[in-house]
Amino acid sequence: MSSLQFANVTDARITEFINQAQTRIIFVKPAFYNWEIDLVLNIIKERQVYCELYVEKNDNAIRAGFGDIHALKMINENKDLLHPQVKNSIRMAIIVVDNRTLFYMPKIIFLDEEDDHNNFPNGLFGDTDITRLVLDKFPVTKIDVPEMEEYRIPFELKQIESSHQEIVDKELGDVLKKLEDNPPVDPNKLKRIHFYRNNFKLLKIQLRGVKIENRKINIKPFYKLLSDTQERLNSSWDIFLQEDVKDLEDMTMFQSEIQAINSQYLFDSGRFGYLIQTDKKYEYSTKIQEVKEEFISFIKGNPKAENRFEKIKEQATNSQEKNSFKTGINTILTKSRVELANYLKKQCENDEGFFQRILKDRRSFKWAYENKQLTKKEVVNQFVDDFIDDKLKFPQEDDILERIDILLDYYDLSDELIYENEDFKKVLEKHKLDEVREYEEGLQQLDFFS
C-alpha cells in the first residue's frame, strides 16, 4: 500500500535527506540556493550519483526570492553533472532521493524564517510506491535503484492535532487586531510594485563641464600689482563669450549625440529624471561612455577612423553648408587668451610703479632690460603672458576636457512613487508604461523600443 505522510521540512532535514542518496537525485524547484547546489555536487562527485534538476526557465523566481544567481551560475557551469531542465511556472519543490520522495513548499528567503519547531507540516513524504508514480510523470533517465533495506526518515511525521476553541478565538482575534492596526498591502499592488522595480530604474543624469559659457577666471591678483586700481574694473574674465559659444560646434555635437542615445533608451520623466528598462541599463551606460571617449579623442586630434564626431565633421565639410562646422575649443581658448593679454597690458601701460615691481620681483627681466636685450614694452608683455599662465591659471584645452563627465545615478522606484505620486502616474500614462498585461508566466511588458 502506498504511503504518503505529512512532514515538517527544514533546511537541515533536507540536507540529511539528500545526503542519503546512493544512486539518484531528482530535484525540482523554482530556483535554487547556493548551499543546495553545493550539497548535490559534492554527493555526485563522491558517489557518482545520477542527478537531474528542474528549474524555472525565466528570472522571475530568483527575483521573487526562491533562489539566488550564484546557484544558477553553478548549474550552468556543471550541466554535465546536474543535467538541468527548464520549465514554466514551477510553484512547488520535489526531491526524489533513490526510492523516496519529498514534496514541500519552497522557501522565499526574505519572507520565511527557519523554524525547527513547526507545529504544522509543510511537506509530504512518499515511499517507494509514491516515488514510482512520481517518476512515471518525469522524463528521467531509467536507472536501476535497488530497494534500501535500512532507510532513515529524517522528517518528523505526525498527526495534525485539534486546537481548543478558546485558543482559536484568541489567535484569530490577535491576528485581526494586528491587521486592523497595520493593514496589509493589496497583493495585486505588491505584484505591480514588484514588476516595476524589477523592470525599471529611475535615472538622474549630470553633464559636467559641458556648459562652458560659465567658465571664468579671477583677475583680481593682477590688479593688485597696479599703482592705481579702479573700482570699475572687472574682477573676472569670461573665457567664452556668448558669440564664441554659438560658434562652438564641438559641444553642440556632443550634446546632440547624448540626446540621440537618450531618446533611444530613456523615457523622459520630467522632474523625476528618466525611466530606463533594467535590462537596457548596461547597454545604455556603455554607449554613453563610448560617446564621451570618442568626443575627447576627437577634440584632442587623435580620433580613430570610426569616430562618430570625425564623420560628422567630414559630412559637414563635404555638404553644401561648408561653413556649418565653425570652430573648436582650442581656437576659442587661444582667441580668449590673446584678448585677455591685450586687456591686461592696456591696464598697466604707462604705469611706472607696475614696471618697477616687475624689475624688483623678476631678476631675469631686470638683467635683460638693463643689458638692452628687452625693451620696457617687451618686459611688460612677457610678464603679463607669464602671469596669465602661472598665476591666473588660464585653462588649456586639456583642462576643459578633464572636467567633462557624464554621471549616471540609478534609483529604485518606491511604492509611494508608483501609487501615490500623481505627477509620476502621469509620466507612466504618457509613455503608456501603466499598460501592464498579465500572462501565464506573470507580469510582462511590451518591448517599447522595438
d(C-alpha 140, C-alpha 49), whole Å: 14
In a domain, 198, yes or no: no
Whether residue 415 has pLDDT greater than 60:
yes
The pLDDT tens digits for 39-89 are 999 999 999 999 999 999 888 888 888 999 999 999 999 999 999 999 988
Domain boundary among 135, 152, 179: 135
Check pLDDT > 90 for residue 102: yes
Region of 270 (left: φ > 0; alpha: ψ -120 to 50; beta: rest) is left
- Domain termination site, one of 388, 403, 418: 403
Residue 434 lies in a domain: no
Average pLDDT of the segment spanning 243-251: 61
Residues spanned by the domain of 121: 4-135
Residue of higher predicted confidence among 441 and 100: 100
Residue 165: inside a domain: no
Instruction: Look at residue 411 and tell me whether its pLDDT is greater than 60.
Output: yes
- Whether residues 214 and 122 share a domain: the answer is no
What average pLDDT does the structure give for the chain? 81
Q: Tell me: the pLDDT tens digits for 221-241?
A: 888 888 876 655 678 888 776
Point out the domain boundary residue: 135, 151, 172. 135
Same domain? 28 vs 113:
yes
Residue 173 in domain: no
Pair (324, 243) in one structural domain: yes
- Looking at the fold, whether 239 and 336 belong to one and the same domain comes out as yes
Asked whether residue 114 falls in the same domain as residue 231, the answer is no
Phi, psi of 213 (to 5 degrees): -65, -15
Asked if residue 141 has pLDDT above 70, the reply is no
pLDDT band at 440 (very low <50, low <70, confident <90, very high): very low
Q: Are 156 and 123 in contact (CB under 8 A)?
A: no
Do the domain assignments include residue 153? no
For residue 438, pLDDT over 80 is answered with no
Query: 129 and 214: one domain?
Result: no
Based on the fold, state whether residues 130 and 271 are members of the same structural domain: no
Residue 236 shares a structural domain with residue 124: no
List pLDDT tens digits, range 304-322: 767 887 777 777 666 555 4
Residue 445 or residue 388, greater confidence: 388
pTM tops 0.85: no
Tell me, what CATH number does 93's domain have?
3.30.870.10
Asked whether the predicted pLDDT for residue 323 surpasses 50, the reply is: no
CA torsion 101-107-113-115 (nearest 10°) is: -10
Domain assignment present for 88: yes
**Do 248 and 357 fall within a single domain?**
yes
Distance between CA 407 and CA 398 in Å, rounded? 19
Are 232 and 344 members of one domain? yes
Total domains present in the chain: 2
Low-confidence winner among 140-149, 160-169, 178-187, 196-205 (lowest mean pLDDT): 140-149
For residue 314, give the H/E element and its range.
helix 308-318
Q: What is the mean pLDDT of residues 168-197?
A: 80
Q: Does one domain contain both 113 and 236?
A: no
**Where in 139-270 does DSSP place strands (E)?**
200-208, 216-218, 236-238, 266-268
- Please check whether residue 288 lies inside any domain of the structure: yes
Residue 440 lies in a domain: no
